[in-house]
Amino acid sequence: MFHVNMLSCLLLLFLYYRIPLYAGVLITITDTFVFLFLDKYGLRKLEAFFASLIIVMAFTFGYEYVAAAPDQGQVMKGLFVPSCGDCGEQVILQAVGVIGAIIMPHNIYLHSALVKSRDVERSKKEAVKEANKYYFIEASIALLISFIINLFVVSVFAEGLHDKTNAQVHNKCVEHNLNMYIDVFPNNDTLVENVDLYRGGVFLGCQYGAAALYIWAVGILASGQSSTMTGTYAGQFAMEGFLNLKWSRWRRIVLTRSIAICPTILIAIFSGIDDLTGMNNLLNVLMSLQLPFALIPILTFTSSKPLMDSFKNSLLSIIACSLLAVSVIGINIYFVAVFLPTLPQHWAMYIFEAILLLVYFAFIFYLVAFFVQLLGWKFPPSIQRFFNGPLTSSSPDQTESNESAALLSSSM
């Protein structure tokens, strides 16, 4: 397991102090003790710390946006009329990775579970309805801030790197006396590509000065630490819900840190910063591929009358969310079709890929089939028995017996 926040810490140490990667991996262990310390003071203190990290990200990435000064008309056009002319395989990889980096599967579980910590009178429908309103406002504000931050980042690199050659960036590095980074972009006329977190930070420093480089590093650090917090909490809720394991947060942090450090330090010793940041891109793509396993179940649960009672999704919500889920799955299928030819061409790889794809799409098909039969689609009895359960029951007794579950889940 590899964590984005570990990569962010490594980048900060590498960009600032040129500390060897393996040493940076060991230093990042200290964030474990930071979270152990904050955990003693309760959830609210951690939420405040999380908010401070978001503020740091907003200011640092906002600074980069102001420094780059992209054409605001083009930014608005890209928001409402997206396009990607002549996109190659690497561009598609990054585009799918952006989806995985922004819409992280575990965060969908996290948003559903965090509201359980709120003190709400779930036996009263009016109280649940009011709570849902405020949760909606809270989530909307969080998503708006996240959207603005991501808009800053994407716009900065779109403005700075579009049609830029390696030689142009190389000369900018020389111009700003960033000689330690001039080898990152070779002095040739090839268009800049494969820009990851590290190369992106170097580009900012070469294009807008050393201050932009260091501010980028601080922003990436804040982003990584906030990712650690969400991952830790999502892991706890998954362990409680799926495995019925109730571990304290410090144990979860120690476990996840231990799992992450071992493979990362091996890569840091035997590879370079490019391999390390390249892995981050692939992991973002992997998270995008996992999105259907979070989107479809939560759409199924929230559309279930026995479970949600009067709080179930409206027809309009079901249609809109279904279209979004289909879009994500379609993007994933397209990515797989483009990415597979880049893998080693060997019969053993073909068999391995075929098995993975079969299992992947079979599971998606099962989730979709469960969802559509919940909406009223009838399967033959020999198939229907695989989908029988509390969510598919619509009898009055079953609905009444699940009323408390509906109220509890309505805030999710």
Q: Which helix (H) or strand (E) element contains residue 2?
A: none
| Torsions phi, psi for 29 (to 5 deg) | -60, -25
Nearest to 221 by CA among 3, 384, 11: 11
Report the distance separating Cα 394 and Cα 309, nearest Å.
Answer: 10
Please report which residue ranges of 162-183 form alpha helices under DSSP H: 166-175
* DSSP assignment string, 112-165: HHHGGGS---TT-HHHHHHHHHHHHHHHHHHHHHHHHHHHHHHHHHHHHHTT-B
Give the integer Cα–Cα distance in Å for 119 and 50. 21
Residue 321 neighbours by CB under 8 Å, 6+ apart: 295, 299, 313
Q: What is the pLDDT of residue 190?
A: 85
* DSSP symbols for 31-71: HHHHHHHHHTT-HHHHHHHHHHHHHHHHHHHHHHHHHH---
Burial 286-297 (b: 16+ CB within 10 A, else e): ebbbbbbebbbe
Residues 6+ apart with CB under 8 A from 221: 8, 9, 11, 12
Distance CA 300, CA 312 (A): 10
Nearest to 194 by CA among 342, 94, 341, 282: 94
pLDDT given at position 82: 73
User: Strand pairing partners for 191?
Assistant: 165
Phi and psi torsions of 191, nearest 5°: -65, 145
Helix (H, G, I), strand (E, B) or coil at 21: helix
Tracing tokens 């926040």 back to the chain, one arrives at 5
Q: Please state, in angstroms and rounded to a whole number, the distance separating the CA atoms of residues 26 and 6.
A: 10
Is the pTM above the cut of 0.85? no
**The predicted structure's pLDDT at residue 391:** 61
What does the H/E/C string look like for 320-352?
HHHHHHHHHHHHHHHHHHHHHHHCCCCHHHHHH
Kindly tell me the burial class for residue 108, based on how many C-beta atoms sit within 10 Å of its own C-beta (0-12, 13-18, 19 or more): middle
Q: Is 405:309 a contact under the CB 8 Å cutoff?
A: no
Give the chain's radius of gyration (CA, Å): 23
Residues 287 and 29: beta-carbon distance below 8 Å: no
Domain positions in the chain: 4-290, 291-412
Residue 278's pLDDT is: 62
How far apart are alpha carbons 131 and 195 in whole angstroms?
A: 43
Model pLDDT, residue 177: 83
Inter-residue long-range contacts of 90-93, CB under 8 Å, 24+ positions, other chains counted? 90/193, 90/194, 92/334, 92/335, 92/338, 92/339, 93/281, 93/285, 93/335, 93/339
Mean pLDDT per block of 10 residues along the chain (412 residues) reads 56 63 68 63 71 84 88 86 70 66 75 73 82 84 85 87 86 83 84 78 85 81 73 73 70 68 71 63 73 87 84 88 84 73 81 90 88 80 69 47 39 40
